[in-house]
Structure 1
Amino acid sequence: MRFLPEEEQRRLIAACFARSDLTLEQLWMRYFALGGSLSLLELDAYLNGLTALPRVDRDMLAHAVNERLDEVAGPARAPYSHSVRDAKPLHGPLKALVDLLEGAHRAPPERLPAIVAEAGRALDVTIGVYLADYDQRTLVPLRPGAAELDIDTTVGGDVFRRAGTTVTREGTLWTVLLDGVERLGVLEIVPAEDADPDDPVLREQCRWLAALLGHLVTVTTQYGDGLDSRRRRRHRGSPAELLWQSLPPLTGATESVVVGASIQPAYDLCGTVFDYALSERRAQLALFDAGPRSGGANIAVVNALSAYRAARHDGAPLEDQFAAVGAELAALPDAPAVTGVVAELDLATGGLRWLNAGSPAPLLVRGGEVLPADAAIGTGFAAPGGPPPAGEARLEPGDLLVLHSRGATETRDRAGEPFGRDRIARHLGDDAGQLPPEIARRLTREILAHGGGEPRQDTAVLVTRWLSPSGQS
């Protein structure tokens, strides 16, 4: 590394200091704040050429002057003892990521579209952001004047369903917007005229941008309503508001397992919740259901969920988790009865154990075929005698485990015919090759349509795919 001659550096620092409008005392305070330890007199002597300073102190002094010059309009900066690269990239993928990070710092959620547009310019692309509504029927644009996209019939919707990327004949690149593994929406990316949308490097850079943006969408939604309100297609009542705030993300994954969920009616939830927790060794799953829609159902299932989580966080075994939920519900004598399932999947062996409190039995899907997973079914979490005997099964890599609420089987059409387990099994077999969150979304859509869009019960579906033994993926 080549260093600037000491006397040349001193002369230029002194010249820049003269243009900085700082007093000597103010310069010393800035130097001291950077970690400098020399006295005011020593700095004065150095600036006047009467003494020398160690290189580290010269550079701290130069930095103190430059901080001031950055605050005023454009004078030349003081030199360091060696060449220093610009801290911020001027173009390309790193600039796009930096622009997105810095732009989002302390920004309200509704400012994200403008921040994304600025980041896109660093890649010579124009970016449109679409977020999925909470019903997962529509992709809602954040750009004013842009049209909504139907998830089931459009190119953008296809990208969302597959969680993938595609290029249209017109040269538009569509890619899914993820927060980790949870699908939030899609990005519509239009490259500059001389850019190739099929360029794998451009695709990879856009994937980086989408990953960071997805995280920022989730983070900013936690402290502002600007994006949340765009995703809502109609009013969400207080019971539904409480339940949505209690749910985990609709998708979670590790190298060994993927969990996806869907719950309907999205804007009128009343008495059903699900939960999961993933670790290196196991996946822990739960579903709680208060049955037909009634007053107090949301409070009952949230209490059940809280008791389950508290026991799980304490490392309690499956039977003690079940008992903790029962004790919590027993203290709510006027609450509606809550049924459900708690389950645990060993990610090293595929061993599955579950306890059933009056809920439909889990379904196992292997190669598109639904397998029986029968076990004793208790009458409820708070029933006398404690938990029923645990059900056990052994999954193979690629198998699906499906938990669902009573609403999935009991939802009736106008003729009074329930959706039933056979229809559930048929849809699971047909869609087994899809991503778990997409399997769950399609199934709840079919159940909601069967009920004419006016369900008497909530419908929740929790789909888990065991990919491979942990440590071997």
Structure 2
Amino acid sequence: MAATEEEQRHRLVRCFQHADLTLEQLWMRYFALGGDVDLFELDAYLNGAMPLPGVQRDMLAHAVNERLDELLGRDRVPYSRPVRQAHPVSGPLAALVDLLEGAHRAPPERLPSLLDAAGRALGLRVGVYLADYTQQTLVPVRGGRGPLEIDSTPAGRAFRAGDVVLTGEAEDVRLWAPLLDGVERLGVLEAQPIDGTDPRDPLLRDQCRWLAYLFGHLVTITTHYGDGLDRIRRREHRGPATELLWAALPPLTAATDTVTIAAATEPAYDITSDVFDYALSETSVSFAIFDAGSHDSAGTLAAAIALSAYRAARHDGLGLEEQARAVDEALGGATVSGVIGRFDAGTGRLAHVTAGHPPPVLLRNGTTAELPAADPAPPFGRRTDRLTAEHPLQRGDVVALYTDGISGARDCDGRTFGLPGLARVLERESPARLLPEAARRITQAVAAHQNGDLADDATVLLLRPFGDGRSSGWF
């Protein structure tokens, strides 16, 4: 339970007397934690001559508590059996434990109220906005507030940058933090201090990040077995073909220390022929993109079969050419274009098999060029021997796979977006953005080229080897 300001000062003075510290030693410990009052102000506070903000009082308390732990730790009486710590009742650990335990049997709709309770344990009033599937709008999970545009609001800036944004003045200061499941952007967390805590306190930002990580993970988990939060994110109807393909896709973003991968696909509520997949390990990433071309049920089914056959062969540990053969055999006469590949961080080499599809594109040092295929192989579904092409990659490279809905997009005058259009956006956005934001902006540019009326599915899959140099502390 939180102490009043005067009670906290009295207990601090009493504990300081047992801490075996001089005033100067206490100030040095407090200063090392980030305290910003000087030695004379500290002396005045201890003697009741001046107040201190809550965050400064807490850093002083932490400095004394650390010293008491040191003194007690020198000589403690052992127990006859291990003694476990009791359930925490306050602070960041209590907030995370309460949220985790409360979500154990919770339907998705209950998560916002659990988050409220966790926020109160941190001295925060919290709100949640989830990104709709076009990644254009942040939709509040509670009524009474309007949606926020991702491209024109501070909350949207937190989503785009993958980092915290501070807004407001005086009593209306709030933090906007990206809501993440791993590195998959789901929305933003809004946090407003309610106990006088300094919103610029780095410890508070860390606590908000922990809360945003855990809540984002819970959003993803509960969406697998409930519709409550998924329904909030949907702004349009999805037909059965789109429902089938979206259910088969992995998250739009994933990363390890050695590789970052991100995808975007439009129209988000009406894809019928494009799919992608990937699998990350400690030292490599496998990836694939398929385009059935046809927008009827047969095309949707062919795309789903190609994805499933590729995934099954990859799970079995087969190489690229064997994976390609498995896709050929599974399609049963249907045809699907695509690229399957693998990047090995140990060797720094990218290998790929291209089948009736645009080859991967490499962005290096601000210039974009196609990575040639080993042979002009026909689409998957036509059984043939397929060859693997290999290319060395460097730190800072970005590899892009895309479907013809991007290169073939036409404006009202019939001009195609083409590889030059993709290259322009890739060269402009990839060096300056997080990889998932660069992918989002590519599909946005394609949609704008067609005045928002996409004639074909447009999908891009971006790979940045050797890690993401643009990653923020949150992302």
Aligning the two structures, in what range does the TM-score lie when normalised by the shorter sequence?
0.7 to 0.9
Cα pair 1:291 1:407 within 8 Å, conserved: no
Q: Does 1:347 align with 2:349?
A: no
Question: 1:234: Cα distance to partner?
Answer: 1.0
Match of 1:252 in 2: 254
Cα pair 1:109 1:221 within 8 Å, conserved: yes
Deviation track 1:267-312 (CA, whole Å, cap 9, x = no partner) reads 0010110000111231111000012423311100110011101111
Secondary structure class of the residue paired with 1:186: strand
Cα pair 1:293 1:456 within 8 Å, conserved: no
In structure 2, what residue type is equivalent to 1:399? D
Match of 1:404 in 2: 402
Match of 1:457 in 2: 456
Q: Does 1:421 align with 2:439?
A: no
Looking at structure 1, the residues matched to 136 and 181 of structure 2 have their Cα atoms a distance apart, in angstroms, of 19
Secondary structure class of the residue paired with 1:401: strand
Cα pair 2:133 2:268 within 8 Å, conserved: yes
Question: 1:454: Cα distance to partner?
Answer: 2.4
Q: CA RMSD in A?
A: 1.9
| Alpha carbons of structure 1 residues 314 and 82: separation in structure 2 relative to 1, 3 Å | closer
Matches within 5 A, 1:188-199: 188-199=190-201
Cα pair 1:292 1:457 within 8 Å, conserved: no
1:227 to 223, 226, 229: 229
Q: Does 1:444 align with 2:446?
A: no
Cα pair 1:364 1:401 within 8 Å, conserved: yes
Looking at structure 2, the residues matched to 457 and 301 of structure 1 have their Cα atoms a distance apart, in angstroms, of 14
Cα pair 1:130 1:142 within 8 Å, conserved: yes
In structure 1, what residue type is equivalent to 2:119? G
Question: 1:461: Cα distance to partner?
Answer: 0.4
Question: 1:468: Cα distance to partner?
Answer: 5.5
| TM-score with structure 2 setting the length | 0.78
Deviation track 1:82-104 (CA, whole Å, cap 9, x = no partner) reads 99887221211011111111221
Looking at structure 1, the residues matched to 366 and 279 of structure 2 have their Cα atoms a distance apart, in angstroms, of 26
2:324 to 322, 331, 336: 322
Equivalenced residue count is: 385
Looking at structure 1, the residues matched to 418 and 370 of structure 2 have their Cα atoms a distance apart, in angstroms, of 15
Q: Does 1:95 align with 2:97?
A: no
Question: 1:382: Cα distance to partner?
Answer: 2.7
Question: 1:411: Cα distance to partner?
Answer: 1.4
Match of 1:176 in 2: 178
Deviation track 1:138-192 (CA, whole Å, cap 9, x = no partner) reads 0111121111110111111111011111211432111101001111111010012
| Alpha carbons of structure 1 residues 85 and 451: separation in structure 2 relative to 1, 3 Å | same
Secondary structure class of the residue paired with 1:156: helix
Matches within 5 A, 1:144-163: 144-163=143-162
Question: 1:430: Cα distance to partner?
Answer: 0.1
Cα pair 1:131 1:141 within 8 Å, conserved: yes
Q: Percent identity?
A: 51
Q: Does 1:379 align with 2:378?
A: yes
Cα pair 2:176 2:188 within 8 Å, conserved: yes
Matches within 5 A, 1:237-386: 237-329=239-331, 331=332, 333=333, 335=334, 337-375=335-373, 376-386=375-385
Matches within 5 A, 1:101-116: 101-116=100-115
| Alpha carbons of structure 1 residues 438 and 384: separation in structure 2 relative to 1, 3 Å | same
Looking at structure 2, the residues matched to 468 and 262 of structure 1 have their Cα atoms a distance apart, in angstroms, of 19
Looking at structure 2, the residues matched to 424 and 288 of structure 1 have their Cα atoms a distance apart, in angstroms, of 18
The runs of 5 or more residues in structure 2 that have no matched partner are: 1-78, 469-475
Looking at structure 2, the residues matched to 181 and 119 of structure 1 have their Cα atoms a distance apart, in angstroms, of 22
Q: Does 1:167 align with 2:169?
A: no
Looking at structure 2, the residues matched to 206 and 380 of structure 1 have their Cα atoms a distance apart, in angstroms, of 48
Secondary structure class of the residue paired with 1:393: strand
Match of 1:118 in 2: 117
Looking at structure 2, the residues matched to 311 and 198 of structure 1 have their Cα atoms a distance apart, in angstroms, of 50
Worse-matched range after superposition: 446-455 or 87-96 = 446-455
| Alpha carbons of structure 1 residues 384 and 105: separation in structure 2 relative to 1, 3 Å | closer
Match of 2:60 in 1: none
In structure 1, what residue type is equivalent to 2:410? R
2:209 to 201, 207, 210: 207
In structure 1, what residue type is equivalent to 2:238? R
Question: 1:383: Cα distance to partner?
Answer: 2.8
Looking at structure 2, the residues matched to 82 and 305 of structure 1 have their Cα atoms a distance apart, in angstroms, of 54
Question: 1:384: Cα distance to partner?
Answer: 4.7
Question: 1:377: Cα distance to partner?
Answer: 2.8
In structure 1, what residue type is equivalent to 2:434? L
Question: 1:344: Cα distance to partner?
Answer: 0.9
Cα pair 1:283 1:346 within 8 Å, conserved: yes
Secondary structure class of the residue paired with 1:364: strand
| Alpha carbons of structure 1 residues 85 and 267: separation in structure 2 relative to 1, 3 Å | same
Match of 2:67 in 1: none
Worse-matched range after superposition: 230-239 or 273-282 = 273-282
Cα pair 1:410 1:419 within 8 Å, conserved: yes
Secondary structure class of the residue paired with 2:297: coil
Match of 1:19 in 2: none
Match of 1:73 in 2: none
